C-alpha cells in the first residue's frame, strides 16, 4: 500500500535508517492520489537538503521515498531530477484526443456469443469458418464485420470481459479373439465411403445398463452419422446399423472398428459382405487406427448427450433425434478441420490443420472430383446443398439445441418415479 507518513519526527538521516530497519514506529495513512505523493517527495527533498547530501545518505533518502511513495526506482529518479531542477511535479501525460476506433463492436461480441453458445464453442478456425459462411453463403448482414475475423483475434475476443460475462463412467470394451476382419488401418485412397465406427455407452445406474450410441465417421469427408440402440446385441444392433449405413449419401466401401464383439461377429460380417464392403479392425498398440471415431465420441456424442445414465427404453426417441436434428447439423452446418500432410527435411510426415482447409462435411464432399456419379442412386449434390440452405448455420444450431432440451425434458419427465 502507498502510504503518507506522519514523518514530522524524522529530521535526520539516522532516523530514516531506523525507520527503514523497522526500529522506529511512525504513524501513517493511505495517500489519496499522485498529487499527494508529489508533494511528499518535494517536502522530503527540501527538509533534508537532498542536493547537498553525500552519496550514501542520498541512497537512504531514495530508499525511504521508494518505501513511502510506492514509485519504482527509475520513476523516482526522474521525479527527483525534476525537483532539483526547480520544476514543479505534476502529470505530464493526458488521454489522446482521438483514440483508435474499435473494429469489432459490442454487438459483434454478442453475436459471437450466440454462435459459440449454439455450436458448443468450436475451435477458432472452425468458428471463423462459420462466421464467413453466415455472411458469404447465407447473406446475414449482421456477420459482415465478423466475416473478416481471424482465428487468432477470435480468441482475443473470447478473453474479453463482455464475452466472458455472457458465457457464463466409462466401461472398457470387452476384447474377443476372432478371425473376422483384417487387422490393419483402413486405406480409403481418396475415396469416400470408408467409415470408422465405435460404440459409446451412456452409463449404468443401480446395475442397469443405459443406451448405447453408435458413432460412424467417414475417413475422407468426416461425414458423421450417430444412432442409438437399447443393447449391444444382434436383435437390437443390426437394424440400427442398417439404418445408420443408409444415412450416408454414398455407398459404404470400408468398415473399420475396434475389436469389440458387437462388430466383430458373423452377423455384421454377413451384412458387410452383402454391401461388398471390406471389414478391418484395429491393431494392438496402434491407437490411431480408430482415432477419428474416438475423437468424435468426445467432441460430438458426449457434448450432445453428456455422461449421465439414460434408460434403454428411450433409445428410439434418441435415435429419432439423431436422424432428424443431430446428423443434419453435423454434416451440413458444423465445420471440421482437415489435415494436410507435409514431409519435412528428415522425411517424416507431419500433419497440419491450415485454416483454409476448414470445411463442413458437405463442402468437403462437394470438393471431391466426380462425386455426383458416386452418390447413392436418386441423390445429388444439388439436393444436399438445397437441404443445407433451408436454414443458416446459426438457425440449425439453435434448432438442434431446442430439440435437445425437449428430448431431455421428456426423458426427465418420464424417468421421474411416481410419488
Answer yes or no: pTM beyond 0.85: no
**pLDDT at residue number 419:** 47
C-beta separation of 196 from 293 below 8 A = yes
Distances (CA, A) of 53 to 147, 187, 293, 321: 65, 84, 77, 84
Residue 95: per-residue pLDDT: 65
Contact 263, 238 (CB under 8 A): no
Whether 151 and 128 have beta carbons less than 8 Å apart is answered as yes
Q: What is the pLDDT of residue 172?
A: 63
Q: What local confidence, expressed as pLDDT, does residue 10 receive? A: 73
CB 62 within 8 A of CB 13: no
Residue 1: what pLDDT? 39
CATH code of the region 182-415: 3.30.420.10
| Residue 416 in grid coordinates | 421421474
Predicted local confidence at residue 323, as pLDDT: 94
Every domain of the chain with CATH number 3.30.420.10 lies at 182-415
pLDDT at 5: 53
Give the pLDDT of residue 8: 62
- Alpha-carbon span 33 to 38, nearest angstrom: 9
Distances in Å between the Cα of 131 and the Cα atoms of 89, 147, 359, 372 are 52, 5, 12, 28
Of residues 261, 243, 248, the one with CA closest to residue 192: 248
pLDDT of the chain, 419 residues: tens digit per residue: 344 455 666 778 888 888 777 766 665 554 557 788 888 888 888 888 888 888 888 888 888 888 888 788 888 888 888 888 888 887 776 666 666 777 899 999 999 999 999 998 899 999 999 999 999 999 999 999 999 999 999 999 999 988 988 887 445 656 555 678 788 888 888 899 999 999 999 888 888 889 999 999 999 999 999 999 998 888 888 999 999 999 999 999 999 998 888 888 888 889 888 988 899 998 888 888 888 899 999 999 999 999 999 999 999 999 999 999 999 999 999 999 998 888 888 888 888 899 999 999 999 999 999 898 899 999 999 999 999 999 999 999 999 999 999 999 999 888 766 54
Q: Which residues of 91-124 are buried (b: 16+ CB within 10 A; e: fewer)?
A: eeeeeeeeeeeeebeeebbebbbebbebbeebbb
Q: What is the chain's alpha carbon radius of gyration, rounded to the nearest angstrom?
A: 34
Amino acid at each position: 500500500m502507498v502510504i503518507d507518513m506522519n514523518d514530522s519526527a524524522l529530521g535526520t538521516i539516522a532516523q530514516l535508517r531506523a525507520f527503514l530497519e523497522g526500529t522506529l514506529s511512525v504513524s501513517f495513512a493511505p495517500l489519496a492520489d499522485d498529487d499527494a505523493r508529489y508533494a511528499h517527495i518535494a517536502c522530503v527533498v527540501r527538509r533534508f537538503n537532498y542536493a547537498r547530501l553525500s552519496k550514501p545518505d542520498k541512497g537512504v533518502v531514495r530508499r525511504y521515498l521508494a518505501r513511502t511513495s510506492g514509485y519504482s526506482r527509475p520513476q523516482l529518479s526522474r521525479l527527483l531530477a525534476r525537483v532539483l531542477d526547480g520544476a514543479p511535479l505534476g502529470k505530464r501525460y493526458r488521454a489522446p484526443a482521438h483514440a483508435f476506433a474499435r473494429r469489432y463492436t459490442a454487438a459483434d461480441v454478442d453475436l459471437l456469443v450466440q454462435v459459440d453458445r449454439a455450436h458448443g464453442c468450436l475451435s477458432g478456425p472452425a468458428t471463423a469458418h462459420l462466421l464467413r459462411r453466415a455472411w458469404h453463403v447465407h447473406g446475414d448482414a449482421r456477420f459482415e464485420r465478423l466475416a473478416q475475423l481471424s482465428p487468432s483475434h477470435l480468441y482475443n475476443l473470447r478473453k474479453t470481459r463482455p464475452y466472458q460475462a455472457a458465457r457464463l463412467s466409462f466401461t472398457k470394451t470387452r476384447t474377443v479373439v476372432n478371425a473376422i476382419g483384417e487387422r490393419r488401418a483402413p486405406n480409403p485412397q481418396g475415396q469416400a465411403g470408408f467409415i470408422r465406427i465405435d460404440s459409446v455407452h451412456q452409463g449404468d445406474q443401480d446395475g442397469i445398463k443405459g443406451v448405447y450410441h453408435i458413432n460412424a465417421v467417414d475417413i475422407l469427408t468426416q461425414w458423421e452419422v450417430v444412432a442409438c440402440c437399447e443393447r449391444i446385441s444382434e436383435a437390437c444392433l443390426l437394424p440400427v446399423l442398417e439404418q445408420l449405413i443408409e444415412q450416408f449419401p454414398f455407398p459404404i466401401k470400408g468398415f473399420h472398428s475396434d475389436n469389440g464383439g458387437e462388430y466383430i461377429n458373423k452377423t455384421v460380417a454377413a451384412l458387410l459382405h452383402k454391401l461388398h464392403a471390406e471389414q478391418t479392425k484395429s491393431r494392438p498398440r496402434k491407437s490411431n487406427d480408430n482415432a477419428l471415431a474416438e475423437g468424435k465420441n468426445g467432441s460430438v456424442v458426449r457434448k450432445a448427450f453428456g455422461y449421465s445414465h439414460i434408460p434403454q427404453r428411450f433409445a428410439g426417441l434418441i435415435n429419432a433425434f439423431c436422424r432428424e436434428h443431430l446428423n443434419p447439423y453435423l454434416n451440413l452446418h458444423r465445420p471440421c478441420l482437415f489435415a494436410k500432410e507435409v514431409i519435412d527435411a528428415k522425411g517424416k510426415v507431419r500433419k497440419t490443420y491450415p485454416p483454409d482447409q476448414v470445411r463442413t462435411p458437405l463442402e468437403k464432399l462437394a470438393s471431391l472430383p466426380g462425386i455426383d456419379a458416386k452418390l447413392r442412386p436418386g441423390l445429388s449434390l444439388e439436393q444436399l446443398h438445397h437441404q443445407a440452405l433451408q436454414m443458416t448455420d446459426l438457425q440449425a444450431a439453435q434448432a438442434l439445441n431446442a430439440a435437445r432440451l425437449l428430448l431431455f425434458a421428456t426423458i426427465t419427465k418420464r424417468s421421474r418415479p411416481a410419488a
